[in-house]
């Protein structure tokens, strides 16, 4: 791997930047791999990276039907935090946040992780109690989190309208100072480049069309570029998880919904933190380019169309303008949708499937981006050892039979 540094930048400047090598190869698929990862988003690429890096499994391919990070990795609002309620979730998301804190150095790729703080606003007494409960749970789990009063919210983020006469006045907030945002494309590219350097084959424009199985064990995948044999297959297909599962002959407790986001025209820096509100439903931050990045709740019906309806956008912007009257005359530049795999308990599924040798990592719903490194890390462990990592043992598919659900609808902070 060509190491990126101030020296390599200077050296390449002398040759007019014409001699940079491609960040990863685009090899033809080999006939057989030890592990194939289906899905070249952040989670899939992170899984391949950690398989090679921490478990010495380097005969690995990542197959992606489109281009790297072209799905939800490139469509989210890039918020990273770990203030989830239950012990199981706190362990998983905090593991991820710790990996984020060293990720740019580990990958030698600037993922622009910016710990600018994440505010969750409370607009009624129930919100306040729920946030206080969650902050207390976080602190018991070693996750930094604190409660702010209305005055403290105003001091921390002056742009929010904290006057008592708005429709849903701000009564307080929780703040995770270590939370923030990262550059989503860079996360996919950084993991891809680092995985490729460790020998992982990244195969784009290669869509899975079926599985090869013998007596309940997976033996390979059928793709638009032919049959590829594999000892183990890890499926990290987000919104299309149910489609892939159907090919392998089992069902998931997943529904795929559009989740929309939009960005405004760029303006000067005015918002230096991430603000989320469950009750009025808006979340917003400002990108380094100056655009206001705004996320909506899911559209209420199953769809794979990556569009969504304007009524959801309208609801979201009403809430944003109520909280931030300053933004009322901003024009919106772009709107898009991603297809999120929503689980009944708003927690992911990471583990084995009814098919031997076939593993699945899905159900991240509206909040998968923040978990990218941690998800890949524990999923790589699960595939390498045929056993879940202690941090993802609670997130197995059979929790829907046992009833041991991990209900994180409150902490998910996005309307389902």
Which of 155, 82, 162 is closest to 122 using CA atoms? Answer: 162
274: enclosing H helix or E strand: strand 274-277
Q: Which of 310, 328, 385, 390 binds other proteins (CB under 8 A)?
A: 310
Task: Classify residue 356 by its DSSP letter.
Answer: B
Q: Which of 72, 138, 145, 242 binds other proteins (CB under 8 A)?
A: 242
Residues 7-66 that bind other proteins (CB under 8 A): none
The answer to the question of residue 73 lying near other proteins (CB under 8 A) is no
Phi and psi torsions of 316, nearest 5°: -65, -45
Nearest residue (CB) to other proteins, 168 versus 250? 250
Residues 335-354 that bind other proteins (CB under 8 A): 344
CB of 311 to other proteins, least distance (A): 4
Phi and psi torsions of 251, nearest 5°: -110, 160
- Distance between CA atoms of residues 285 and 181, nearest Å: 8
Nearest residue (CB) to other proteins, 147 versus 405? 405
Residues 93-152 that bind other proteins (CB under 8 A): none
CB of 239 to other proteins, least distance (A): 9
Q: Which of 87, 146, 151, 311 binds other proteins (CB under 8 A)?
A: 311
- Distance between CA atoms of residues 49 and 47, nearest Å: 5
Nearest residue (CB) to other proteins, 214 versus 402? 402
Q: Which of 249, 304, 334, 387 binds other proteins (CB under 8 A)?
A: 304
- Distance between CA atoms of residues 365 and 350, nearest Å: 13
The stretch near other proteins (CB under 8 A) out of 72-80, 225-233, 263-271, 304-312 is 304-312
CB atoms within 10 A of CB 398: 11
Helix (H, G, I), strand (E, B) or coil at 262: strand
The answer to the question of residue 240 lying near other proteins (CB under 8 A) is yes
The answer to the question of residue 253 lying near other proteins (CB under 8 A) is yes
CB of 302 to other proteins, least distance (A): 5
The answer to the question of residue 409 lying near other proteins (CB under 8 A) is no
Nearest residue (CB) to other proteins, 140 versus 243? 243
- Distance between CA atoms of residues 367 and 346, nearest Å: 9
- Distance between CA atoms of residues 353 and 359, nearest Å: 6
Nearest residue (CB) to other proteins, 58 versus 335? 335
Contact 248, 261 (CB under 8 A): no
Is 70 buried (19+), middle (13-18) or exposed (0-12) by CB count in 10 A?
middle
Token reading at 179? 């939370």
Contact 416, 342 (CB under 8 A): yes
The answer to the question of residue 243 lying near other proteins (CB under 8 A) is yes
Nearest residue (CB) to other proteins, 178 versus 240? 240
Q: Which of 61, 162, 221, 254 binds other proteins (CB under 8 A)?
A: 254
Count the residues in the chain. 416
CB of 194 to other proteins, least distance (A): 32
Token reading at 73? 């990795």
Q: Which of 155, 246, 270, 333 binds other proteins (CB under 8 A)?
A: 246
Q: Which of 52, 188, 252, 414 binds other proteins (CB under 8 A)?
A: 252
Sort strands 255-264 and 292-298 into parallel, antiparallel or unpaired.
Answer: antiparallel
Q: Using CB under 8 A as the criterion, which residues of the chain lie in contact with other proteins when the complex forms? A: 240, 242-243, 246, 251-256, 300-305, 307, 309-311, 344, 400-403
């Amino acid at each position: 791997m060509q190491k990126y540094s101030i020296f390599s930048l200077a050296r390449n400047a002398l040759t007019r930047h014409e001699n940079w090598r491609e960040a990863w190869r685009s090899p033809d698929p080999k006939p057989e791999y030890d592990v194939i990862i289906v899905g070249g988003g952040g989670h899939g690429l992170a899984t391949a990276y950690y398989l090679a890096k921490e478990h010495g499994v380097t005969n690995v391919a990542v197959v992606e039907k489109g281009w790297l990070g072209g799905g939800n990795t490139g469509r989210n609002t890039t918020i990273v935090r770990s203030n989830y309620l239950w012990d199981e979730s706190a362990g998983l998301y905090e593991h991820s946040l710790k990996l984020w804190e060293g990720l740019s150095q580990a990958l030698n790729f600037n993922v622009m992780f910016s710990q600018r703080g994440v505010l969750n606003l409370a607009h009624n007494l129930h919100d306040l109690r729920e946030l206080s409960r969650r902050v207390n749970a976080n602190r018991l789990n070693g996750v930094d989190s604190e409660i702010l009063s209305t005055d403290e919210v105003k001091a921390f983020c002056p742009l929010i309208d904290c006057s008592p006469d708005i429709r849903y006045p701000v009564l307080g907030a929780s703040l995770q100072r270590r939370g923030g945002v990262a550059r989503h494309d860079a996360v996919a590219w950084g993991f891809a480049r680092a995985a490729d350097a460790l020998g992982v084959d990244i195969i784009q424009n290669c869509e899975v069309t079926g599985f090869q199985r013998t007596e309940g064990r997976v033996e390979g995948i059928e793709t638009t570029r032919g049959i590829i044999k594999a000892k183990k297959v890890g499926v990290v297909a987000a919104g299309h998880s149910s489609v892939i599962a159907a090919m392998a002959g089992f069902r998931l407790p997943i529904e795929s919904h559009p989740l929309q986001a939009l960005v405004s025209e760029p303006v000067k820096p005015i918002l230096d933190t991430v603000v989320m509100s469950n009750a009025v439903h808006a979340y917003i931050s400002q990108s380094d380019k100056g655009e206001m990045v705004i996320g909506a709740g899911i559209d209420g019906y199953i769809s794979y169309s990556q569009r969504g309806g304007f009524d959801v956008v309208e609801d979201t912007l009403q809430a944003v303008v109520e909280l931030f009257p300053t933004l009322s005359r901003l024009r919106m530049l772009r709107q898009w949708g991603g297809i999120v795999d929503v689980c009944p308990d708003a927690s992911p599924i990471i583990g084995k499937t009814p098919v031997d040798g076939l593993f699945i990592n899905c159900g991240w719903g509206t909040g998968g981006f923040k978990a990218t490194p941690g998800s890949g890390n524990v999923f790589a462990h699960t595939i390498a050892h045929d056993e879940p990592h202690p941090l993802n043992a609670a997130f197995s598919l059979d929790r829907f039979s046992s009833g041991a659900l991990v209900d994180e609808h409150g902490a998910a902070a996005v309307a389902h």
